[in-house]
A and B are shown apart, each in its own frame.
Chain A
Amino acid sequence: MTNGFVGSIMATLDKLSSRPAVKRVVYAGTILFLVSFILLPPVLGITFKLGLAEQVFQNPELLVRAEAAILWSFTIALSVAAFDLLAGLPLAWIIARGRSRWISVVDALADIPFIIPTVALGFSTLLFWGNTGPIGFLGFSIPPGLALVLLLHFAFSFPVIVRVMVGELLAYTSIYETAAKTLGARSFTIARTVTLPMLRPGLIAAFLLAFARSLSETGATVIVAGAFENGPVFIANAKNAGLEGPMVLVSFALIISSVAVFALIRLLGNRLKIPLNRVFPGAESRLSSKGSVGMRNAVTFLIFGMFVLIPSIYITFPAFGALTDGTLQKALSGTGVWSSFWQSMALSYVIGVMATLINIAAGLPVAILIARKRLGRVATTVLDAAVNVPIVVPSVALGVSLGFFWRSFGFLPEFWILVFAHTTITYTYFVKAMAAAIEGIPEEMEETARTLGSRPLHVFRKIILPLTKYSFLSGAILVFTRSVDETGAATAVSQTLKTAPVLLVSWVKHQIPVTDSEIALGIAFLVLTSFAALLVLRLIVYRRK
């Protein structure tokens, strides 16, 4: 099949792909990229500078602060993930099992805190619970500090639990529940003794993701933290104060401990037994009654609305105000603070596009290696774990280390350091999405195509890619939006160049004289980007159906 120049190039590439040596070079190249761009820089960067940590040990006061910050990070992450699981599971259940046509609206609403950039979420939370917000009118407010951090983390980790558990519940076949029902069990008993134990891997995965998100979040936390410090806030404060030693120490501790905690939960989680095989017919029959279920659903919706949804979208009100008070005209004319704002937006987009392109090129072969277990069982598990590292490690700690590493190459412009840092931070998303999609295609399909005379690259172009194009697109969009929204790592890396979220954090913290109306509008522009991405994603999913 030769349609011109492109056709003949493709035919040549197809032929090349039949050669084992070519395949080896491609796979080895992308693994080399994984090691040298994604895994080694975070490790080496921090190791170079470990000597600086010495400063902290000579300053007892600083050491106490650092220790407390790290401890708080884990305490908050663990408790938030546990609360989210408790509150999110009933909502996931309603979404997965409900028959009402409003369910899809609830489903979309549950995603909102996940879609809104964290900077926006932080500012929105600050305003909602602050003394000028709706709660403030009742003469009650929550000032920046630990309580507000907990509320914020609860809200942005919530959608992770709901998303994962809805997927698990939809994939779970109800045949077991039907069987249990015909054996005479009440629905609450069935959920507790049959459904949930079978969904354990999903529960663990959901818990871990919520945990990781809380551990890693920086941009929003900095906004609502006040004088309180967890790990990422401590790092950000140390950076602002120009204290490299504490930055290094806390980053190092966070990297090591987050990887360790993850490995531990992964290993122990699968052995965890839920020891309640006993059945309590009286109590569980009452819990299964219509009234109890109605009550539970009402509480679930109340918690979701009051603590997740409304605090997340509250920012819309001041943003609407900005449309009429002249701020919009000022913003569009690009004068004053807005000139640097638009530069930052452009920078964020360019970096996002570059990180996406690099991760697609470098991630595809790795996704194939993982999905097809080409390297054997053990090596595949290791590779899969390695791919997860960037989302497990708190991004601000990762950013600190990446900044040290790339700056040690004196000739590298800051722009490229930012691109590389964003590439590392977002690496996981595309590889994971594609690996899952490719795994869903029976390998027999590829093998059959090969025996029909199709060469490996031809099989990929004609069979794998068309069948995974939705995951390809959504993986790429996820990388792009994550890159544009990334705050923690960008804060740690940036010196003179500021991406949009970093700039907005400095606005919110009033390091630059701006009005609340301007902050709200600036954040709204960033939110619009994410919503456009969400819209594209939804359209893709819709077309798929």
Chain B
Amino acid sequence: MPSLRLLNVTKRFGSIKALDDVTFEVRDREYLCVLGSTGSGKTTLLRSIAGILTPDEGEIFIDGKKANTVTPEERNAVYVPQSYALFPHMTVLDNVMFGPLAKETKRAAAEETAMRVLKLVRLDGRADALPSELSGGMQQRVALARGLASGSSLLLLDEPLGALDVRLRLELRGELRKLAKDSGFTVIHVTHDQEEAMTIGDRILVLRRGKLQQHGTPYHVYNRPERIFVANFVGNTNFLEATVKSRGKEGSTLRLREDLEVRVLDPSFEPEEAVIVAIREEKTRITPEPVGDEPNRLSGEVKEVHFLGSYIRYAVRLTNGDEVAARLPVGEAEAEIRHGDWVSISFDPADTHIYEYPTLGLPSELEAS
């Protein structure tokens, strides 16, 4: 059963570390989404697991066996690149039969497997078509079918929905997960789309500049981001620079610029330590009547109002110059708030996260690559 374990895996390209000391485990039949921006090392990770690349340091275990020197054809880990890499000179059926035939399965048996899998992806009617005759969505399903028929049970999907248009992408998300789950596959699915990762993954792994940032369930990653980068990359978050004024049993009091104050639950930082406060935009409340600055209730001027369909997003400049955004569902939004209005911004101490002030400053910590 394909449980997968990476231990301190590092891969360099010249002076760039594409993977930097990465350690994690994937359980049998788990659907793992690897989330990261361009250049974060996602593809390098997949290709190292597939055996196309050899890590410079560290170990890869598949089914408990060390796989570093095992050739790609013997690893039983199917790589499906973003381009699908369908063989253009072979029919759909030949493409799907390629894996079994390469592994010296008898032709009749290979064809049977291929047809069964093609039925699963609803393409048994197009078995004799060439890949170039199919739509993007169909090609994607052929690539998937080819992986499913190969006899391996570890699927490595590189941006599998990336080349499709938005509507189709949403449609195929559920189908992809269901197929993998029904067929008992272990999947590593790489994407830069946080919503996609949250919807499909049993667990999510966030990568940045080759380093693992966080690994956990979508719920955990969203609600307990362990790093500023994750809080920013997954969801929409306000960040405020602050220093700890005091701490007690119920939490800490932080001082923002110009002596504004906020109360938070986290008591883990020492007084006078520099920190960053993070609050989700949707956990930030906005009310029309400013009452003056008091802890967790700050006044400011509305600088921008954006209508986002189901949400309205307000960008507010506080009296100390910091910018904070609030996002309200359209039904709850106070229609009378307009650009230039003075408003109150407030939030619950339980909805805040506190991070150590990054050595290179906040902007560099927020950069994706």
Q: Which residues of A contact B (CB under 8 A)?
A: 1-2, 11, 18, 442, 444-445, 447-455, 458, 462-463, 466-467
Contacts and interface: CB of A to CB of B under 8 A. Distances in A.
Nearest to B87: A463
A445 B80 CA distance: 10
A444 B83 contact: yes
Interface string B65-76: 000000111111
Given A455-B102, A466-B89, A467-B89, A450 B83 contact: no
A124 B193 CA distance: 68
Interface string B213-227: 000000000000000
Contact of B101 (A1, A18, A463, A466): A1
A281 to B, nearest CB: 43
Contacts of A451: 50-52, 72-73, 75, 77-79, 152, 156
A18 B74 contact: yes
A466 B98 CA distance: 14
Interface string B82-95: 01010111000000
A137 to B, nearest CB: 56
Contact of A450 (B52, B88, B146): B52
Interface residues of B, number: 35
B174 interface: no
A18 B73 contact: yes
- Majority SS at the chain A contact face: helix
A442 B84 CA distance: 11
B81 interface: yes
Contact of B88 (A1, A447, A453, A467): A467
B132 to A, nearest CB: 13
Nearest to A448: B85
Contacts of B98: 449, 452, 454, 462
Contacts of B74: 18, 453
Contacts of A458: 102
Interface of B: 47, 50-52, 71-81, 83, 85, 87-89, 98-99, 101-107, 146-147, 150-152, 156
24 contacts: A2-B104, A18-B74, A444-B81, A445-B87, A447-B79, A448-B78, A448-B79, A448-B85, A449-B87, A450-B52, A451-B52, A451-B78, A451-B152, A451-B156, A452-B73, A452-B99, A452-B150, A453-B99, A453-B102, A454-B73, A454-B99, A462-B87, A463-B87, A467-B89
A496 B102 CA distance: 53
A455 B73 contact: yes
Contact of A1 (B72, B78, B89, B107): B107
A448 B80 contact: yes
Contacts of B150: 452-453
Contacts of B80: 448
B45 to A, nearest CB: 14
Nearest to B103: A453
A447 B50 contact: yes
A387 to B, nearest CB: 26
B101 to A, nearest CB: 5
Contacts of B77: 451
B295 to A, nearest CB: 56
B54 to A, nearest CB: 11
A29 B107 CA distance: 35
Given A452-B150, A467-B88, A447 B52 contact: yes
A455 B72 CA distance: 9
Nearest to B143: A448
Contacts of B146: 452
A334 B195 CA distance: 83
A450 B73 CA distance: 5
A96 B147 CA distance: 42
Contacts of B76: 453
A445 B84 CA distance: 8
Nearest to B107: A1
Nearest to A458: B102
Given A2-B104, A445-B85, A455-B102, A450 B71 contact: yes
Given A1-B101, A18-B71, A447-B47, A452 B78 contact: yes
Given A1-B107, A454-B98, 14 more contacts: A1-B101, A442-B83, A445-B85, A445-B87, A448-B78, A448-B81, A450-B51, A451-B72, A451-B79, A453-B76, A453-B151, A453-B152, A455-B102, A462-B98
A411 to B, nearest CB: 44
Nearest to B156: A451
Nearest to B53: A447
A198 to B, nearest CB: 27
B100 to A, nearest CB: 8
Nearest 4 interchain pairs by C-beta: A454-B102, A450-B72, A452-B99, A448-B85
B89 to A, nearest CB: 5
A449 B102 contact: yes
Contacts of B103: 453
A1 B107 CA distance: 7
A4 to B, nearest CB: 14
A452 B151 CA distance: 8
A444 B51 CA distance: 13
B87 A447 contact: no
A544 to B, nearest CB: 12
A523 B324 CA distance: 87
A422 to B, nearest CB: 33
Contacts of B101: 1
A351 B74 CA distance: 43
Contacts of B79: 447-448, 451
Nearest to B98: A452
B108 to A, nearest CB: 11
Contacts of B102: 449, 452-455, 458, 462
B73 A453 contact: yes
B73 A447 contact: no
A417 B85 CA distance: 46
A17 to B, nearest CB: 10
Contact of B81 (A1, A447, A455, A466): A447
Contact of B72 (A2, A442, A447, A466): A447
Nearest to A14: B102
Contacts of A453: 73-74, 76, 99, 102-103, 150-152
A309 to B, nearest CB: 38
Contacts of A18: 71, 73-74
A11 to B, nearest CB: 7
Contacts of B105: 1
A448 B160 CA distance: 14
A228 B85 CA distance: 59
Nearest to A467: B89
Contacts of A463: 87
Contacts of A452: 73, 78, 98-99, 102, 146-147, 150, 152
B202 to A, nearest CB: 23
